[in-house]
Amino acid sequence: MASADLELQGAIVSALKASDDVRAFIDQRIYDNPPHGAVLPYVTLGETQDLRTDMVGANAFTIFATLHAWSDYPGGFMEVKQVSNAVIECVHLAPLVLPSHRLVSIEHHNTRTFRDPDGVTSHAVIEFVAFVERQN
């Protein structure tokens, strides 16, 4: 049985790749580790934190999942904010299906947008919180 966060990651990536709104900005450019010279804009998988929240009769997890949106659009934050909004609209409250776990809910928690130290790259950090139960 795969870990809950790995199953959630796979479901999120599948949803993003299937979304016309997301693909309009980044096509299929969703990476765990982007290749050298990857064309911007794109989205990368970020950090996760799993909290075990078992209850009587249920193996449960709270998972904090982070995605990163990247852009080098010369006009400022517009493109990275459009990408991050498309990601949020795709994932927030999505009925994602996991192979051996049940997603109770996934919600957008927060987004931080800033310019990276190179002075060119715009970066959005998009955080979600998911509640997951193991299926028996």
Mean per-residue pLDDT over the chain, rounded: 96
> Within 10 Å of residue 33's Cβ, how many Cβ atoms?
7
Does the 4-134 domain belong in CATH 3.30.2000.30?
A: yes
pLDDT in tens, 20-47: 999 999 999 999 999 999 999 999 999 9
**Cα distances (angstroms) measured from residue 21 to each of 27, 30, 35, 36:** 9, 14, 23, 25
Q: Where are the domains of the chain?
A: 4-134
Distance CA 15, CA 22 (A): 9
The three-state secondary structure class of 19 is coil
The model carries a pTM of 0.95
| 1 pLDDT above the threshold of 70 | no
Tokens of 46: 């970020």
For residue 2, the model assigns a pLDDT of 84
The answer to whether 71 and 105 are in contact (CB under 8 A) is: no
